[in-house]
Amino acid sequence: MKARIENLLAQIKELKCSNAKEIEEARVRLLGKKGEVTALFEEFRSFSPELKKEFGRTINELKQAAAAKIEELKSTVSQEQVSEGSKEDLSMPGTPFELGSRHPVSIVRQEIVDIFRKFGYDVAEGPEIEDDYHVFEALNFPQNHPARDMQDTFFVSAGHPNPLLLRTHTSSVQVRAMETMKLPIRVICPGRVFRNEAISARAHCIFHQVEGLYIDENVTFADLKQAILLFAREMFGPETQIRMRPSYFPFTEPSSEIDVSCNICHGKGCNICKGTGWLEIMGCGMVDPNVLEASGIDSSKYSGFAFGMGLERIAMLKWQVNDLRHYFENDLRFLSEFKTSIEV
Ligand code: DAH
């Protein structure tokens, strides 16, 4: 017995393993159910009390030595594996990760906001779920105007004197600005709008607008013209010309549509401007006195102008994107075209 214990102890001391599999095999060989150390314990059970006394300690020490050796081997092998891992060539270039890009509509919105901030305009926002009063009533829409029809507007709650609806334009935010801000008011209001349109290359049920509003004493049509001209030149280049065409909006009087000279053909005529040399970019006008009065502003003392433009339309002109649906489909092939515009 003594000789076997000593022999096993010597084996354990010398034991060497180079990987986890070998360690496990050694553990089974020594301490497993049919292992050599376990077998000694089996024999030990049938020893006489004297023999038990003689060998009890050594046999226990043998078991502890075996278990300790296995643990020691495990820790050295795992350390070696870790240090092998770090033998990688750290000078190798890393795996590049993809940079995201800003959405073209966001890029255009930011440009417009930056331009008008330079002119002293603040940014105002309002709710996308609005009431009939702020979208129509306060903006001088007659009671039976077609825009109030289910065909054009998404209603959230109906059968109500002031139903909730998804705003169809950001002009509602000018009403909120007039109700809450101190005069003079100079704001632009970017935001998402909703209309009950069939989706096609030229129309979508969700799009984005920027509304502008300036109210003070003695604001004239000449101020409106100058503000739009300065904006158009900042946005489309210093050579840009603007053209005003008479138009109609319930909330402005007089009203006008603005065209800018085509920045592709510089007025010669191309397929973007359909041969006219001009591109339509926004609606505008002098705020109707009824609109001022509805929000509690004295129209005999104050006057103002407002304008509104579609962001997808401006982005379309800037990058010649000819299908509105691209803006909403989140196709990475489209979105990644705007990568170069990102500032890092
Ligand atoms: N709200 C108009 C629309 O959605 C755009 C607009 C036109 C806004 C003229 C204005 C404006 O402030 O004066 O089509």
Please spell the DSSP secondary structure of 209-277, one letter per residue.
Answer: EEEEEEEEET--HHHHHHHHHHHHHHHH-TT--EEEEEEEETTEEEEEEEEEE-TTTTTS--TTTTTSS
Pocket test for ligand 1, best of 121, 284, 290 (most atoms within 8 A of CB): 284
pTM score, two decimals? Answer: 0.72
Determine the pLDDT at residue 100: 81
Q: Which residue has the higher pLDDT, 118 or 1?
A: 118
Q: How many CA atoms lie within 13 A of 324 on its CB side?
A: 17
CB 35 within 8 A of CB 26: no
* C-alpha of residue 218 to centroid of ligand 1, in Å: 22
Residue 177 has pLDDT above 90, yes or no: yes
User: Binning pLDDT at 50, 70 and 90, where does residue 159 land?
Assistant: confident
Residue nearest to atom 12 of ligand 1 (CA): 307
Residue nearest to atom 6 of ligand 1 (CA): 308
Please spell the DSSP secondary structure of 65-113, one letter per residue.
Answer: HHHHHHHHHHHHHHHHHHHHHTTS-TTSPPPP-------HHHHHHHHHH
Determine the pLDDT at residue 89: 81
Determine the pLDDT at residue 149: 77
* C-alpha of residue 32 to centroid of ligand 1, in Å: 85
> Which atom number of ligand 1 is nearest to the Cα of residue 308?
8
Three-class secondary structure assignment of 115-166: HHHHCCCEECCCCCEEEHHHHCHHHCCCCCCHHHCCCCCCECCCCCCCCEEE
Query: pLDDT tens digit string along 332-343?
Result: 999 988 875 444
Report percent pLDDT > 90 for the chain. Answer: 52
Q: Per the structure block, which two tokens stand in for 53?
A: 């006394």
Mean pLDDT score of the chain, rounded to an integer?
A: 89
* C-alpha of residue 249 to centroid of ligand 1, in Å: 7
Q: What is the mean pLDDT of residues 138-164?
A: 85
Residue nearest to atom 13 of ligand 1 (CA): 284
Residue 161 has pLDDT above 80, yes or no: yes
Helix (H) or strand (E) holding 294: helix 289-294
User: Binning pLDDT at 50, 70 and 90, where does residue 140 land?
Assistant: very high
Determine the pLDDT at residue 81: 62
Mean pLDDT is lowest, of 135-139, 202-206, 226-230, for 202-206
Which of 226, 150, 130, 235 has its CA nearest to residue 195? 150
Q: How far is CA 152 from CA 87, 191, 198, 207, 342, in A?
A: 67, 18, 10, 14, 36
> Which atom number of ligand 1 is nearest to the Cα of residue 168?
4
User: Binning pLDDT at 50, 70 and 90, where does residue 45 land?
Assistant: confident
Residue 330 has pLDDT above 60, yes or no: yes
Q: Which residues line ligand 1 (CB under 6 A)?
A: 169, 171, 211, 249, 252, 283-285, 306-308
Cα-Cα-Cα-Cα dihedral sign, residues 181, 187, 191, 193: positive
Tell me the backbone φ, ψ of residue 190, rounded to 5 degrees. -85, 150
